[in-house]
Amino acid sequence: MLEDALKAVVSMDLDSKNAIQTLSVHKDEIRISKSELEDLIHKTVKQAVEEERKLC
């Protein structure tokens, strides 16, 4: 499931969304590498697991 999410985000084609010409419309979209995305997901999941452990 994580692999599918990574592929979906990494393969987004901002050019077809006309994001280059209309940056104000897509201002919340940024381009990051697959490894950066994996790192963000890993850190977020790790933080969520740690928080969950504190609650138990």
Say if pTM beats, i.e. exceeds, 0.75.
no
- Measure CA 17 to chain center: 17
Q: How far apart are CA 41 and CA 38, in angstroms?
A: 5
10 CB-contact burial (10 Å; exposed 0-12 / middle 13-18 / buried 19+):
middle
Dump pLDDT digits (tens) for 9-55.
666 665 665 555 555 555 667 788 889 999 999 999 999 999 989 88
Q: Quick one: pLDDT at residue 3? A: 72
Assess contact for 55 and 49: CB atoms under 8 A. Answer: no
Question: Are 28 and 19 spatial neighbours (Cβ–Cβ below 8 Å)?
Answer: no
Domain ranges in the chain are 2-55
pLDDT at position 42 is: 93
